[in-house]
Amino acid sequence: MQLYHDKDADLKVLDGKKVAVLGYGAQGRAQALCFHDSGIDVTVGVRKDGKSWNKAKEDGLKVQEFADAVKDADVVMMLLPDEIQPDIYKDYVLPNLKKGAALEFAHGFSITYKLITPPEDIDVIMMAPKSPGDKERDEFVAGFGVPALICIHQDYTGNAKNIALALAKGLGSTRAGVFETTFDNETYTDLFGEQSVLCGGMTAMIKAGFETLVKNGYPPEMAYFEVLHETKLIDDLIYAGGFELMWNVVSNTAEYGGLTRRDRVITDESKKGMQSILDDIHDGTFKNQWRADFENGLKGLREMEEADRNLQLEHTGKEIRKLFERKN
């Protein structure tokens, strides 16, 4: 993968250009504030007089309704949840998008699955920071940045990559490193990571570990500490220095036990399950199920959330976490 740094990007590419950031959630707020501090002309596009509207105003940013923010914008950034992007695009973006503008995404879902089909006379790009919004902002304020991906789906002007790199530089990401890939690759790997490891796999493993210990008579408080509380400690070590650092820090007993027993948990059947997850992502099965649930008012998602809230693991966790609250 091609890697870019500060010397490869020029903020002057955005001189005299209006950048409209649509959405003011975690990503929208972090990116808009960083762009503003980098001297980029930023306008936040949100629904009028809502929480996001007022928050952006309090943060000292220019704020307009979606349609007005898009009008005359040279770069329109779709930093909205995947599920609402198609409607916002159809109602407010497409009717006001000018020829030669750049339509930008932080995730490729809507383009990869053709939920949004942009006109041919614009650039379509992605600049995807590999971090939650709060972390992006913290790293920028500290004088650095988080790594990011850039993707060029459509290069109408011949300047699409320069715009994507300039946005990455405005976020501080070129200080860390920016990789170039494709919309499809970003979409498929991002969804797979979330479902099989980061959000799906991890929570399923924690839940199963907790239930195994409790079923065998161990106190839920001890089970919580061992299978959930300490996951952050291990994750931080892996994040900082990979498996090697983690194995060097934990005890020899933990290392030997982990290396000799982990394949009983992640078995060949588990790997077949991972492949089926990737297959669902590739063939659109997941996209269709997710869109159907969204169009049904997120009924399925809310039922699953409620089931998780009622887990013994969650009730135990609430009590345990109180022990770590600082008392004034």
- 8 Å CB contact between 12 and 33: no
Q: Is 107 a catalytic residue?
A: yes
The single residue of 5, 36, 107, 153 carrying the catalytic annotation is 107
- 8 Å CB contact between 219 and 314: no
What is the Cα–Cα distance from 128 to 119, expressed in whole angstroms?
A: 22
> 110-144 b/e with 16+ CB inside 10 Å = b?
bbbbebbebeeebbbbbbbbbbebeebbebbeeee
Q: Would you state the structure tokens that stand for residue 39, as one six-digit string?
A: 């001297």
Which sign, positive or negative, has the C-alpha torsion 69, 52, 140, 106?
A: negative
What is the Cα–Cα distance from 322 to 168, expressed in whole angstroms?
A: 39
Q: Which long-range contacts (CB under 8 A, 24 or more apart) does 46-53 make?
A: 46/22, 52/23, 52/24, 52/25, 52/28, 53/24
Would residue 60 be called left, alpha or beta, if left means φ above 0 and alpha means ψ between -120 and 50 degrees? left
Nearest to 103 by CA among 92, 113, 36: 92
How crowded is residue 69: how many other Cβ atoms within 10 Å of its Cβ? 26
Residues taking part in catalysis: 107
